[in-house]
Structure formats: structure tokens, C-alpha cells
Amino acid sequence: MKPIDIPVVGIGPGSQPDDGDQFEFMNMPRGMFRHDLISLPEPEDIADLPAARRLLLDLKAAIGHYRCGDPAIRLDMNGLGARERDLLAQILGEGEVSITVEQDGHRIQIQESVLTGVWRVQTLDAGNRLLDDALEIADIPAAVRSARTADDRHLDTSLEGLPEGVQNAPALLVEISDQLASHQPGDPAHVINLTLLPLTNEDLIVLGERLGAGPVTILSRGYGNCRIGSTAFPGLWWIKYYNSQDALILNTIEIVDIPSVALAAPEDIEAPAERVNEIAELYA
């Protein structure tokens, strides 16, 4: 199981109150991840790839019907040849979000396309052999929603065995445990902003050990990075935001079904739907 990158060092400027009670303003990002559609091949160049053309038409129909919150719509790519897969990879490109789900000895690699809400989902076995290949239209791929954790565990809130230097981790563990016990599917997120709390390195280590590592890791690139990791408990996520210099600027724990920052919004999917229509018409 892939471990979550739990921070074990200080969490950066502004994370601890100073004697003067003054704000430290962080540097604005200077760079960002960019994604652009690659030039599309001419229709006559893919005339002998009918399966890829049919899949584009299916994608057009699917994205036109999809609404955020609906179950993911799957388009199977297992029957496509290498040229057809390469063509679709060229047309769809790579977007800002990549996801890994470790489950039952398999690794599910997910890459958002430049069309928000359209995902390439590939399942690999322990030997890195491709078992399944598909496109999904979704606000978040189905594998993320269905990822299983050891939900029979109880969060350890005991004070026994805590190392020296621990200050606020015990109180946070009690708060997290209470929120997990009361959380119901669909509830609003309960957010704990660790950046605003006076936490020691030992506090962060204890939190990481007690919360554990879950099967899902999400990386969203834009101005800097947002790294989202599931924990050993369902509905409990650790989310870290880094600026373009890779400095941690926001560190949060969320009790929620899926963090909102990981979900494509309705307006995010509407614009790509128009682009899909243009592409499908080009190759119809």
C-alpha cells in the first residue's frame, strides 16, 4: 500500500503565532502547470480507425448526459488497438489531476484529460501488466468513491506511549474521533486547519501514525500542488497545499465523503462538453 506523504517537519511560515501577532504574507506563485490540447490529426489520417471514432461519438453522448453527482459513465477501451489508444491519448491529452488507488493487490492509475471530468482509468496488476483500460466521465472516478479502508478500526485516542514534545495531537485525535463517529454520507465537510494550530513535529508524527495510510492519493497541479491522501479511516482525508516553490502553505484534515477540492464542478464540465462536440463532429 502506498504511504501518504505525512509531513514530519515544520509546516512553514505563518504556521505558528509569533509574539507580535502579525501576519506573514506568502509569496505569490510565479509559475503554474499548463495543459493544452495537442494539434488534432486530420480526419483522413484516422479513416482506418473506426473504433476510435465511435468512442469519440460515445464520449460526446455521455458527457452531454452527465451531471455532477451522477455515477461515473464508463467507456471501455479494452478492445482498441495500439494506434487507436495512441490517437485518443493525443486528442485527450493530460490535465491537472492524477490519482492512484491501491486496492486488492492492484494499482489503478487515473489521469484526468484536458477535458475536465473525462478520465483515463487503467488497472495494473502487481507485475505492472494492464488489466483494464477505460474512459470515465465523472466528477471523480468510481474507483475513488469505492475505495475501501479498514473501517472496523477505531481511532486510537489514548495518551499512552506518546513521545515527549507532543502538545495538541491528543485533543485533535479526540475531535477527529468524535466527527468520524457522527459523520453520515452526504454531510458537509468538517475541516481542521492544522496550519493555524501550534503543532510540534511530534504532534504531526503522532497524527500520521494514528490516522494511517489509505488507498487513495490525488495530486492536483495548478498554481503549485494540492496533494490529497485518504487515511486508514473512511471519510477521513489529509490535504496539503504547496506553492510553486513547493513550500507547504495550507495543511488540513477533512472528515467528508470526498473532499470538494478533488471534485469537478458543474461549470468545469460544461465547457469541455462543447469541445468534445467539436472533436466528435470533426471525425464523424
CATH number at residue 175: 3.30.1370.140
- Torsional sign, CA 176, 179, 252, 20: negative
Dist CA 188 CA 154 (whole Å):
22
* Cell digits of residue 244: 510553486
Whether residue 155 is contained in a domain is answered as no
> For 185, how many CA atoms within 13 A lie in the half-sphere containing its CB?
2
Q: Are residues 112 and 190 in the same domain?
A: no
- pLDDT at res. 17: 46
**What pLDDT does residue 151 have?**
59
> How deeply is 184 buried, as exposed, middle or buried, from its count of CB atoms within 10 A (0-12, 13-18, 19+)?
exposed
In eight-state DSSP terms, residue 261 is G
Whether residues 120 and 202 share a domain: the answer is no
User: Alpha helices, DSSP H only, in 14-168?
Assistant: 50-65, 82-92, 142-146
Range of the domain at 132: 43-140+265-283
What is the predicted pLDDT for the residue at 150?
A: 66
Non-local (6+) Cβ contacts of 148 within 8 A are 103, 215, 234
Q: What is the pLDDT of residue 249?
A: 95
Is 188 a member of any domain? yes
Q: Would you state the pLDDT for residue 270?
A: 80
Q: Which residues of the chain have pLDDT under 50?
A: 1-35, 37
Q: What is the pLDDT of residues 225-275, one digit of tens each?
A: 999 999 999 999 999 999 988 899 999 999 999 999 999 888 888 877 778
Helix (H) or strand (E) holding 75: strand 73-76
Q: What is the pLDDT of residue 276?
A: 81
**Is 119 a domain residue?**
yes
107, 190: one domain = no
Total tally of structural domains belonging to the chain: 2
pTM for this model (two decimals): 0.83
